[in-house]
Amino acid sequence: MNFLSTTKLDKIDEEILGILGKYGRISYSELAKLVRRSPTAVKRRVENMLRDELIERFTVVLNSDKMGKKITATLTISPSSRRLERVEEFIKKMPCVVEAYHMTGKCGLLAIVQVADIKELDECIQEIFGLEGVIDVNSCVALRKLK
């Protein structure tokens, strides 16, 4: 983030961010109507937030069910400290991993995975377990999405 930025978030910026978070493809004209500002002013605000890296990127949220990824699970991975970077690089490249984090405490690494079925989840876990430097892997399967 550019900490020398002159951008200060006000209520309008926060409102714009909230709308963009839900409707990333909304036009500046529609966005301007919702926040009661001109399209030019809204465009300038969004460009400032992009420049100052308050907005990293615009992205697409995929429907995992429709893509055949019916199971979402969290994996906590305990790597040995000597192999941490190698394990992190491996996890980041796995197609089943949609998000990954280096955590504090006993968690070590946290991976969010999306797979088609339990068999694929087991294969994913076994692949991680088979990696040199992985001490333990624990999984929790999501029953339903809340948010």
pLDDT at 115: 97
CATH code, 27? 1.10.10
3 assigned to some structural domain: no
Cα 46 → chain centroid? 21
Q: Are residues 44 and 78 in the same domain?
A: no
pLDDT at 26: 94
Q: Are residues 95 and 136 in the same domain?
A: yes
CATH code, 82? 3.30.70.920
Instruction: Give the residue ranges of the chain where pLDDT is below 70.
Output: 1-7
Helix (H, G, I), strand (E, B) or coil at 131: coil
pLDDT at 129: 95
146 assigned to some structural domain: no
How far is 118 from 141, CA to CA, in rounded Å? 10
Q: Are residues 46 and 81 in the same domain?
A: no
106 assigned to some structural domain: yes
Cα 39 → chain centroid? 29
DSSP for 22-89, please give it. H-TT--HHHHHHHHTS-HHHHHHHHHHHHHTTSS--------TTTTT--EEEEEEEEE-GGGHHHHHH
- In sequence order, what are the beta bridge partners of 137? 77
For the chain, the domain total comes to 2
Q: Are residues 45 and 82 in the same domain?
A: no
| Structural domain that includes position 127 | 71-141
Q: Are residues 78 and 47 in the same domain?
A: no
pLDDT at 85: 94
Q: What is the dihedral of CA 78, 123, 139, 104, to 10 degrees?
A: 30
How far is 51 from 47, CA to CA, in rounded Å? 6
pLDDT at 60: 82
pLDDT at 1: 45
Contacts of 37 (CB under 8 A, 6+ apart): 12, 45
pLDDT at 2: 46
85 assigned to some structural domain: yes
96 assigned to some structural domain: yes
